[in-house]
């Protein structure tokens, strides 16, 4: 199939997107070739686009849960001193600046015209931009949509009077520009600004917005900014290919997150990030998200087979709908009933693998669909997937009863704040296990954020551990009131998980540069970089480590290198 035909299908709302590993390609045998197309990813995965007129309804009963792309939202000088970065930039025998290391960003794009992304001679430090939203240019090799803008093309644009006539890619949101500047921005003396790795090479993927049908499936508000899992995974392939072409080490910076998924590293995106983390000269940095104080997580340990407990959800005015996911580890098995604000209670829903129930509440005029998946592929868990449509304001109850018990614990997650159209939260919430996916990846570095001025972890910073008890976050980095590049050449101050992810990505680039220059260096992977950082983390006295807020401590790059030198 020619690239233009496939591009039309990739962009069409009439074609549904799926994530298919090669070992499940038999699932597509009955799909006519002319009604589908695909894009190759790394590690044997494909994004497949199929005409929805030949498909059954989009439910997790009909499809492999992980095959439906998830939707991810943006994670919203003194700082460099606190993280031990300024010291390694300025120390006479180090002077690390990120030279010959690439940092890749998958986000909202970049304002390539900003001087913090150029060299002293005015040439760009950006090796390439893949803008998935522009379709009248040439896509990257092996991909059939979007437009790639090479370093030569960007330099041509910078030399012209009207750069956007040559490279029309823009960051309309500002998130990607800020993130790239914090990680890799060059010095701006008047504004007292310097990024963590100011001489690193930059690579950028600007993600296209998620399709409407997928936002409807997850009950995401229509104006929410979110991006599809398959577009992110293809963006990773672009960054990896570009770094391989340049023969450069690559640090992947992921400042995107969602509450959907098992929170135990089993999503396809988490698995792919882990796979990149195992490769020499590839490192992955992920933020923990901003959900700890949003009251979107419920946790309970059932004491006995006869116990029932209720998760109470406060729903405010104007909420169009939302999705909730209940997860428990087999051999625990639970069932649920639902009580509406007027007291109308459904019967206990019987468990049959893959069944779907539509529950209608006559007084509230609300519909709730419930789907059970007991035997999830590559995941020893039970999932109950609930979708509330036009919920009446008030207190809704999910009543949970055990069918059989081992440990007896279960979790329920509501969507991240950015996906909701109004007030939705648990009355009795739990702030732990609130790091967003893909922050539960096992080998990638997951970074919490704290306030460098008062040395306190931010109340919103996503907390660990993972649902299966893996220590995450790995460590914390500054992420409160940090200055970076905004739109139109301005500098702005922001806080949040994205900030700490950007600072850490820059720090990892500096560490990678140092390791590349060591005699006999053959390269290191993300897990080894993480271990070196953990050697030098700062820990507060009288506090037990690791813990769910800080991981093993706070990032101190200079201390890590000094510790490694003395071992």
Query: pLDDT confidence of 377, banded at 50, 70, 90?
Result: low
Q: Taking residues 245-259, what's their average pLDDT?
A: 97
In three-state secondary structure terms, 299 is: strand
**Residues spanned by the domain of 482:** 74-292+437-566
Query: pLDDT confidence of 253, banded at 50, 70, 90?
Result: very high
Does residue 501 share a domain with residue 406? no
Q: What pLDDT was estimated at residue 4?
A: 81
Query: pLDDT confidence of 378, banded at 50, 70, 90?
Result: low
Q: What pLDDT was estimated at residue 511?
A: 93
Domain CATH code at residue 390:
2.60.120.1290
Output 33 or 353, whichever has higher pLDDT. Answer: 33
Does residue 254 share a domain with residue 142? yes
Position 206 in a domain: yes
Residue 246: C-alpha distances to residues 95, 96, 184, 249, 403 (Å): 23, 20, 18, 9, 56
Query: pLDDT confidence of 81, banded at 50, 70, 90?
Result: low
Does residue 260 share a domain with residue 178? yes
Contact 538, 551 (CB under 8 A): no
Contacts of 546 (CB under 8 A, 6+ apart): 471, 552
Q: What pLDDT was estimated at residue 191?
A: 84
Query: pLDDT confidence of 87, banded at 50, 70, 90?
Result: confident
pLDDT one-digit tens code per residue, 175-211: 999 999 999 999 888 888 889 999 999 999 999 999 9
Query: pLDDT confidence of 1, banded at 50, 70, 90?
Result: low
Does residue 407 share a domain with residue 281? no
Does residue 362 share a domain with residue 379? yes
β-strand partners of 404: 333
Angle between helix axes 229-246 and 268-277 (nearest 10 degrees) is 10
E strands in 420-471: 424-426, 445-451, 456-457
**70, 86, 106 — which closes off a domain?**
70
Q: What is the DSSP string of 142-196?
A: T--SSEEEEHHHHHHHHHSS-HHHH-----SSSHHHHHHHHHHPPPBGGGTB--S
Does residue 453 share a domain with residue 422? no
Q: What pLDDT was estimated at residue 254?
A: 97
Q: How far apart are CA 156 and CA 198, in angstroms?
A: 22
Q: What pLDDT was estimated at residue 26?
A: 72
Does residue 173 share a domain with residue 284? yes
> Nearest to residue 255, comparing CAs of 289, 228, 209?
289
Query: pLDDT confidence of 230, banded at 50, 70, 90?
Result: very high
Please determine, for residue 502, whether its predicted confidence score (pLDDT) is greater than 90.
yes
Position 432 in a domain: no
Domain CATH code at residue 255:
3.40.50.200
Position 399 in a domain: yes
Position 226 in a domain: yes
Q: For a pLDDT cut of 70, what percent of the chain falls above it?
A: 95
Q: How far apart are CA 347 and CA 385, in angstroms?
A: 17
pLDDT one-digit tens code per residue, 265-283: 999 999 999 999 999 999 9
Q: How far apart are CA 350 and CA 347, in angstroms?
A: 9
Structure tokens at 322: 């939302």
Does residue 288 share a domain with residue 153? yes
Q: How far apart are CA 464 and CA 467, in angstroms?
A: 8
Does residue 80 share a domain with residue 64? no
Contact 72, 295 (CB under 8 A): no
**370, 395, 426 — which closes off a domain?**
426
Q: What pLDDT was estimated at residue 92?
A: 64
Dihedral pair phi/psi, residue 25, rounded to 5°: -65, -20
pLDDT one-digit tens code per residue, 440-483: 999 999 999 998 777 788 899 999 999 999 999 999 999 988 88
Please state which of the ranges 133-142, 514-523, 529-538 shows the lowest mean pLDDT. 514-523
Our count of domains for the chain comes to 3
Position 431 in a domain: no
Query: pLDDT confidence of 365, banded at 50, 70, 90?
Result: confident
Please determine, for residue 536, whether its predicted confidence score (pLDDT) is greater than 70.
yes
pLDDT one-digit tens code per residue, 24-39: 777 777 788 889 999 9
pLDDT one-digit tens code per residue, 118-172: 999 999 999 999 999 999 999 999 999 999 999 999 999 999 999 999 999 999 9
Position 236 in a domain: yes
Q: For a pLDDT cut of 90, what percent of the chain falls above it?
A: 72
Query: pLDDT confidence of 519, banded at 50, 70, 90?
Result: low
Residue positions annotated with a catalytic role:
107, 175, 498
Position 392 in a domain: yes
- Per the prediction, the chain carries an average pLDDT of 91
Position 523 in a domain: yes
Please determine, for residue 49, whether its predicted confidence score (pLDDT) is greater than 90.
yes
Does residue 59 share a domain with residue 78? no
**70, 85, 117 — which closes off a domain?**
70
Please determine, for residue 373, whether its predicted confidence score (pLDDT) is greater than 90.
no
β-strand partners of 412: 298, 326
The DSSP call for residue 259 is S
Does residue 137 share a domain with residue 225? yes
Output 21 or 315, whichever has higher pLDDT. Answer: 315
Does residue 476 share a domain with residue 382? no
Dihedral pair phi/psi, residue 491, rounded to 5°: -110, 140
């Amino acid at each position: 199939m020619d690239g233009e035909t496939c591009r039309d299908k990739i962009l069409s709302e009439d074609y549904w997107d799926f994530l298919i590993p090669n070992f499940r390609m038999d699932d597509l045998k009955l799909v006519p070739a002319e009604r589908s197309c695909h894009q190759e990813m790394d590690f044997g995965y494909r994004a497949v686009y199929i005409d929805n007129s030949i498909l059954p309804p989009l439910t997790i009963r009909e499809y492999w849960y992980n095959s439906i792309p998830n939707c991810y939202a943006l994670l919203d000088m003194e700082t460099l001193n606190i993280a031990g970065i300024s010291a390694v930039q300025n120390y006479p025998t180090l002077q690390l600046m990120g030279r010959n290391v690439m940092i890749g960003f998958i986000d909202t794009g970049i304002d390539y015209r900003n001087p913090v992304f150029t060299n002293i001679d005015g040439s760009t430090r950006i090796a390439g931009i893949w803008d998935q939203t522009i379709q009248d240019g040439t896509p990257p090799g092996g991909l059939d949509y979007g437009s790639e803008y090479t370093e030569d093309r960007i330099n041509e644009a910078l030399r012209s009077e009207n750069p956007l006539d040559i490279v029309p890619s823009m960051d309309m949101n500002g998130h990607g520009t800020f993130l790239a500047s914090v990680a890799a921005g060059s010095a701006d003396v008047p504004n007292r600004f310097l990024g963590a790795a100011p001489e690193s090479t930059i690579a950028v993927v600007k993600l296209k917005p998620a399709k409407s049908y997928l936002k409807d499936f997850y009950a995401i508000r229509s104006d929410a900014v979110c991006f599809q899992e398959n577009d992110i995974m293809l963006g990773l392939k672009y960054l990896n290919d570009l770094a391989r072409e340049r023969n450069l080490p690559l640090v992947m910076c992921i400042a995107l997150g969602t509450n959907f998924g098992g929170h135990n590293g089993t999503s396809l995106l988490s698995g792919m990030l882990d796979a990149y983390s195992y490769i020499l000269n590839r490192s992955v940095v992920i933020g923990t998200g901003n959900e700890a104080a949003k009251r979107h997580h419920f946790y309970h340990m059932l004491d006995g087979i006869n116990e029932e407990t209720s998760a109470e959800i406060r729903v405010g005015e104007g909420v169009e709908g939302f999705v909730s996911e209940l997860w428990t580890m087999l051999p625990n098995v639970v069932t649920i009933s639902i009580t509406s604000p007027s007291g109308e209670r459904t019967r206990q829903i019987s468990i049959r693998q893959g069944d779907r129930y539509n529950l209608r509440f006559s007084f509230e005029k609300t519909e709730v669909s419930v789907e059970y998946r007991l035997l999830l592929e590559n995941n020893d868990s039970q999932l109950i997937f609930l979708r509330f449509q036009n919920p009446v304001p008030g207190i809704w109850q999910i009543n949970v009863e055990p069918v059989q018990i081992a440990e007896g614990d279960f979790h329920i997650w509501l969507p991240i704040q950015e996906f909701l159209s109004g007030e939705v939260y648990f009355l009795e919430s739990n702030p732990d296990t609130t790091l967003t996916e893909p922050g539960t990846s096992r080998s990638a570095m997951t970074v919490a954020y704290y306030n460098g001025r008062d040395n306190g972890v931010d109340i919103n910073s996503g907390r660990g551990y993972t649902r299966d008890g893996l220590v995450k976050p790995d460590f914390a980095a500054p992420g409160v009131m940090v200055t970076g590049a905004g739109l139109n050449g301005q500098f702005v101050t922001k806080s949040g998980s994205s900030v700490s992810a950007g600072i850490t990505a820059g720090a990892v680039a500096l560490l990678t540069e140092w390791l590349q220059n060591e005699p006999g260096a053959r390269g290191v992977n993300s897990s080894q970089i993480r271990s070196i950082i953990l050697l030098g983390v700062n820990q507060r006295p009288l506090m037990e480590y690791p813990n769910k807020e800080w991981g093993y401590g706070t990032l101190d790059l200079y201390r890590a290198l000094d510790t490694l030198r003395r071992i």
